[in-house]
Chains A and B, each alone.
Chain A
Amino acid sequence: MTELLQNLIDGLGRGSIYALLALGIAVIFGVMHLLNFAHGELITISGYAAYAMFQADFSWYVVAPAIVLVSIAASLVIEWVAFSRVRGASDFTLLLTSFGIHFLVSSVFILYVSASKKQFPRPGWVTNTFAVGDLSIEVFDAVVIGVTLVTLLATVALLQRTMFGLALRGAAEDFDTARLMGVKSNSVIRGAFALSGFLAGIAGIFWLMRAGNTAPSAGISPMLSGVIAALIGGMGSMRGAVLGGFVLGLAEVMLRSRLPDGIAPLTDGVVFLMIALLFIFRPQGLITVARAERV
């Protein structure tokens, strides 16, 4: 029981970051049917920005908010430079464009910084733990879960209560009809990229705090986790993406602590294999977007 509870907390901590990443991917998929393989690059770019700021002796208190701003800006620039030029193109073109950007961003860092990892300090409290009964909880996990909850609530409020949120949801459901209502396609797509960048920025803070370094290929891992989580939830469903993130986090933690020693290093592989199987049996993901039949 204790072990299960421990797993649950660890899994929620890990899953929080995935949920934020997956939600950012689902938002973009909703408005332009683009599965964004370049999403992880927002963390790569933020990572280098953080590295530069640490070189200039800034502290995490300054760097953390800066990461969010950099991530939003990067998301908008990528949209402006590339994705705005392939709007409405085939899925094949959209997928390869985002894959190309993923590669291009990492290449630029190899060209102008270095192919090797750049280290920066991790905040001292990242590895601290505190005990609740028999449970040992990482301060880091507690903070991540807390901040993620606040971020998700803020995002829900944005989507439910603001006109921008309505426009975004409308565009995700039926882009043409939203335009007929006066929703500006440029604004809503840019808004979606800004929101996606914001979510990636929050996730990025914690991703980078835990890693304590960045590298040109740092975007692959968060991208894969985010994409997989979004797909577990059922592509296009924002609720599903968040759920998918937590499911992925929990699955990883559960497997890691239960797989026999010989296979434990293969946890990620096993998780992905399970996901592939899930797809084979439920191609639509866990959550089927429950739409009433249009008559």
Chain B
Amino acid sequence: MFPNFRRDVSFPIVGAVILFAVLVAAGLTYQAIIGGSAERLVTAMLIDAIIVVGIQIYIGNTGILSFGHVGIGAIAGYAFAVFAIVPERKARVLPDAPFGLTDISFSPTVAVIIAIALALAVAVIAGLGLARSGAESGAVSATVITLALLFVTHEVATNWNKLTGGERAGLSFSIGTTLQGRVAIYVTLLLAIVVARLYAQSRSGRLAVAAREDNLAARAMGINPLVQQMAALLISAVIVAIGASLRVYELGTIVPNLFFFDYTMLTLVMLIVGGRNSVSGAVLGVVVITLGRELSRRLGTQGFEFFGIGLDEAPLDWVFREGLPRVFLGLAMVGFMIKRPIGLINDWELDEWLYNKFGRGSDPLPKALPEVGEMTPVKLRASDIDVKFGGFQALDGAGIEAESGQIVGVIGPNGAGKTTFVNVITGMVPPTSGTFSIDGKDVTAVPTFKLARAGLVRTFQNLRLFGGLTVRENVEVSALVAAEHRQGRVLPDVDAMVAEAGLWEHRDRRASELDYGNSRRLELARAAALAPSFLLLDEPTSGMSDTESVTMIEQVRHMAATVGAGVIVIDHDLAFITGISDTITVLDQGAVVMSGTPDEVQADPRVQAAYLGSAAIT
């Protein structure tokens, strides 16, 4: 579950404790300076931090903007209130509660558990909906589904008076039954930060982040993003539910607007100002925004006097008004989106920094990977593949046969149907008819991630790396998938694979910072780390000079051999393909022109015709 215990468990826990301590210390210091009046502010900040960290688990790891978490908070908050209010008081505020709820009351602890259960149930339903809608990083329709969740919750809270007390009255606890002391808040906050960091480092978190960076590439690496998104959603829902219960318990009341647009705005601003992709960023954002709001509130009500300065405020009268904190929030959101949408610290994490500085120890160059010897060969066979788009026949009986240990080339001029063919055998486009099997198992029209797990892993013509992840993390993602779905194969060591690709000195750089040649090599290493039976390379040398291409293909040969994979190369470059392949299939106009050895292909006049244009045939 955690690839490296020290890096992924020990340090994150230490880092989380430090983040927690800094946040609490900041609050207590402020309280000490200002005095008792700051107590509620600090308590509110700590509770906000729980909820923001909870939301970060989902938004940060999946990249999907959610308004629905505050709606989940509302559901949990109401569940908590309805079950936790003491019976005598409930008889007064909710005399006609449905389902006989007027007479049922539990201790706050049990009420929180019920709130969590309800939040989980709602999250499962919402998560299934999100999955159906094809949610991925930044998807607009996914965001609207979460918005609908928020709005429905608010409508129900406002109008189901018998259960919720409605808009005006709400549900209030009596004095004396509200939350006393901060122990529960401290414990929850610490746990929330620890869980958030551990999740991000876990297998599920890493796969979710890979999908956030590039959904298609993640699926091509055998990841099913929907499963990881659901995991992130459920964990974040639990934390938000506890945070929301505490918020209600501490305030002693809940009304519909407590968890609606204003609170959504507040929590989202806190999340994005620090950096939504980082737990440290979420905590930082909570502090910055709380301070900024408090400052603007004081300026709005007391002006410069708050600082003890007797400056002339007349020219600033139009700014120093009540309601300034809201304007501050709005400006922070719009300003950051325009100037720095990644937030103050983007995805920097305290514990990662600590680990790199103190925890890593020496990092010796790993030993070269041996090429694996003879393995039982695996066969891949696609035959009679037809694809029609409307009236257009993109593929007309195309096919290919390959065996692990071999290099098979597929060539054809631009427009020959190569791209469609690749899309079919990688599960991106279902064929209109035809069959496709790997090792005797029928894989016709199965989704991309299953094809990758079945052993066919691709690279992309225009490079699709997980740009925000480091070189090593890119390869690690594949290794995590391989460990689960490619058992029985020779699974290569991540570090050795990075070194094998010649990327050792770049191992901690972000993939997006690599130059072209290194990016290509990383893509190859990432694909090979999945221990595939077949590596499918789509135009692997496009944009490379001839000498670079030769080096590249040597590397392909070697990397494939280290994991015992066969290679299928799709390219337009005849000389390149004939130089490297054992057998070649030539495509033109969506059909197979011929298949044969490189010599046979070079000697065939039909191939020349396909390449230089129809006139050459005459």
Contacts and interface: CB of A to CB of B under 8 A. Distances in A.
A contacts B directly in the complex (CB < 8 Å)?
yes
Given A89-B341, A101-B334, A111-B324, A280 B128 contact: yes
B132 A283 contact: yes
B330 A100 contact: yes
- The interface centre, meaning the residue of A93, A100, A110 with most chain B CB atoms within 10 A of its CB, is A100
A112 B323 CA distance: 9
B380 to A, nearest CB: 29
Interface in B281-338: 321-324, 326-327, 329-331, 333-334, 337-338
Contact of A108 (B152, B155, B327, B338): B327
B298 to A, nearest CB: 15
B413 to A, nearest CB: 16
A134 to B, nearest CB: 31
B341 A92 contact: yes
Nearest to B264: A99
A293 interface: yes
B323 A115 contact: yes
Contacts of B389: 293, 295
B133 A283 contact: yes
Contacts of B261: 103, 217, 220
A107 B323 contact: yes
Interface in A56-74: none
B139 to A, nearest CB: 7
A157 interface: no
Nearest to A37: B147
A8 B416 CA distance: 54
Nearest to A90: B138
A95 B65 contact: yes
Contact of B152 (A90, A265, A276): A276
With a 10 A CB-CB cut-off, give which of A35, A96, A106 has the most chain B CB atoms: A96
B338 A86 contact: yes
A85 B337 CA distance: 9
B5 interface: no
B457 interface: no
Contacts of A273: 148, 152
Contacts of A111: 321-324, 326-327
Nearest to A281: B132
A279 B143 CA distance: 11
Contacts of A217: 261
A159 interface: no
A266 interface: yes
A96 B272 contact: yes
A235 B63 CA distance: 21
Interface in A136-183: none
A64 B333 CA distance: 33
Contacts of A105: 330
Q: Is the interface of A mostly helix, strand, loop or mixed?
A: helix
A269 B156 contact: yes
B159 A265 contact: yes
B265 A279 contact: no
Given A96-B65, A280-B133, A266 B330 contact: no
Contact of B129 (A93, A110, A235, A276): A276
B341 A275 contact: no
A129 B324 CA distance: 45
B99 interface: no
B36 interface: no
B333 A96 contact: yes
B327 A96 contact: no
Interface residues of B, number: 47
Nearest to B328: A107
Contacts of A99: 265, 268, 333
B160 interface: yes
Contacts of A293: 389-390, 392
B145 interface: yes
Contact of B144 (A33, A96, A231): A231
B138 A283 contact: no
Contacts of B327: 104, 107-108, 111
Given A91-B140, A280-B129, A283-B141, A103 B265 contact: yes
B149 interface: yes
A17 B149 CA distance: 24
A273 B126 CA distance: 11
Contacts of B137: 92
Interface of B is mostly: helix
B155 A269 contact: yes
A82 interface: yes
Nearest to B276: A92
A227 interface: yes
A234 to B, nearest CB: 10
Nearest to B331: A104
A106 B144 CA distance: 21
Interface in B150-167: 151-152, 155-156, 159-161
B418 to A, nearest CB: 15
Contacts of A280: 128-129, 132-133, 145
A37 to B, nearest CB: 9
B134 interface: yes
A97 interface: yes
A231 B141 contact: yes
Contact of A227 (B144, B323, B324, B338): B144
A1 interface: no
A272 B126 CA distance: 13
A275 to B, nearest CB: 6
A281 B329 CA distance: 36
B551 to A, nearest CB: 35
A292 interface: yes
Contacts of B392: 293, 295
- Give the most central of A33, A86, A95, A99: most B CB within 10 Å: A99
A266 B144 contact: no
Interface string A252-277: 00000000000001101100110111
A49 interface: no
A268 B155 contact: yes
B390 A292 contact: yes
Contact of A97 (B138, B331, B334, B390): B334
B337 A96 contact: yes
Contacts of A53: none
Contacts of A275: 148
Contacts of A209: none
A104 to B, nearest CB: 3
A279 B390 contact: no
Contacts of B265: 99-100, 103
Given A92-B63, A276-B129, A293-B390, A107 B326 contact: yes
B489 to A, nearest CB: 36
A95 B334 contact: no
A35 B144 contact: yes
A278 to B, nearest CB: 10
Contact of A279 (B141, B272, B324): B141
B334 A82 contact: yes
Interface of B: 63, 65, 128-129, 132-134, 137-141, 143-145, 147-149, 151-152, 155-156, 159-161, 261-262, 265, 268, 272, 321-324, 326-327, 329-331, 333-334, 337-338, 341, 389-390, 392
23 contacts: A85-B338, A86-B337, A89-B341, A95-B140, A97-B333, A97-B334, A108-B327, A111-B322, A111-B324, A111-B326, A228-B144, A231-B141, A265-B160, A268-B151, A269-B151, A269-B156, A272-B148, A273-B148, A273-B152, A275-B148, A276-B129, A280-B133, A295-B389
Given A92-B341, A279-B144, 7 more contacts: A33-B140, A96-B341, A101-B330, A103-B330, A107-B323, A273-B152, A279-B129
Interface of A: 33, 35, 82, 85-86, 89-93, 95-97, 99-101, 103-108, 110-112, 115, 217, 220, 224, 227-228, 231, 235, 265-266, 268-269, 272-273, 275-277, 279-281, 283, 292-293, 295
Closest 4 CB pairs of A and B: A104-B330, A100-B333, A269-B155, A107-B326
